[in-house]
Amino acid sequence: MEHVALIFPPKREASVKAAKEAFEILSSCRIQVLSQFPGMLGTGAMLLHEDSRIDAIVSLGGDGTVLRCVQMAISSTAPVLGINLGQTGFLTETEGSCLEEALFRLVRSEYSIRTLPLLHVHAQEDWYALNDCTLLRTAHQRLPRIQISVDGHLADEFQADGVVIATPTGSTGYALSAGGPLIVPGTDCLVVTPVCPHKLSHRPMIIPGTSTVDVHMVEDPESMGMLQVDGVTVCSYEARGVFRVKRSDQSIRFISFGEQDFFEAVRNKLIR
């Protein structure tokens, strides 16, 4: 372990404070620290570039900060260590109060790797998602009619505010808020969940993880939408457009200390 990237929201005081502490700890272990905001950390921190060499990525924030590490983790193949400084932190490995211990375990390589699947989303371009991709109508637009095809077969057609296609990892995110089920990690499936459907008969679908999903907004000049990948709007979406979602050949690696229990996390972070 020689090069570690610190990812943190620069406008959150708690995250900046934790990043400075992490920088001091890693520097004391002779680890080169890279960041998009090196000037906020101290002397010796280096600017993080797309082609920078990194051996691990440390996310200091909530689930949103972890999601912002996805593209970097894909291109660098470096594993991600999520340290929760946010509200829920379902994607993180440990809490901010354990920052020092977590970093020393990272430096000593006292961890295992868990690999999580990604979605490949193809519309105007290609994107990758850890949690989900979502089609949502834009403000003041007519409720769109959406067709869902699975492996070339029409599976459903409904009017709704949108639709979420999620991985098991993403089943605890927006898909859950939209009425989708919790999926235990490691389950080989995808979840297709309508967002606020016009009729009660349209419910979430659990489909095989190997499926290819085509989403088509039925032609309507008054219907417009936006496509979001892991909560980030990536493009506008017009009627007649089709985007395709399937499991990617690429995956993302997370650092694990073997202390996470899915059902305990559900009880502590989503129920209480």
Give DSSP secondary structure letters for 72-107: HHHHH---EEEEE-SS--TT-SEEGGGHHHHHHHHH
Using CA atoms of 36, 78, 128, 267 in order, give the dihedral in degrees to the nearest 10.
-90
Tokens 């921190």 sit on residue: 45
- Burial, 235: exposed, middle or buried (Cβ in 10 Å; 0-12, 13-18, 19+)? middle
CA angle 25, 100, 28 (to 5 degrees): 15
pLDDT at residue 221 greater than cutoff 70: no
pLDDT at residue 239 greater than cutoff 60: no
Q: Is 63 assigned a catalytic role?
A: yes
**How does residue 201 score in pLDDT terms, banded at 50, 70 and 90?**
confident
- What are the domain boundaries of the chain? 3-111+257-271, 118-249
pTM of the prediction?
0.89
**Looking at 55, 63, 132, 151, which residue is catalytic?**
63
For 3-111+257-271, which CATH class? alpha beta
Query: Domain 118-249 maps to which CATH number in 3.10.20.600, 3.20.20.80, 2.60.200.30, 2.40.260.10?
Result: 2.60.200.30
Ranking 38-52, 147-161, 184-198, 216-230 by mean pLDDT, the lowest is 216-230
Element spanning 134, H or E: strand 132-137
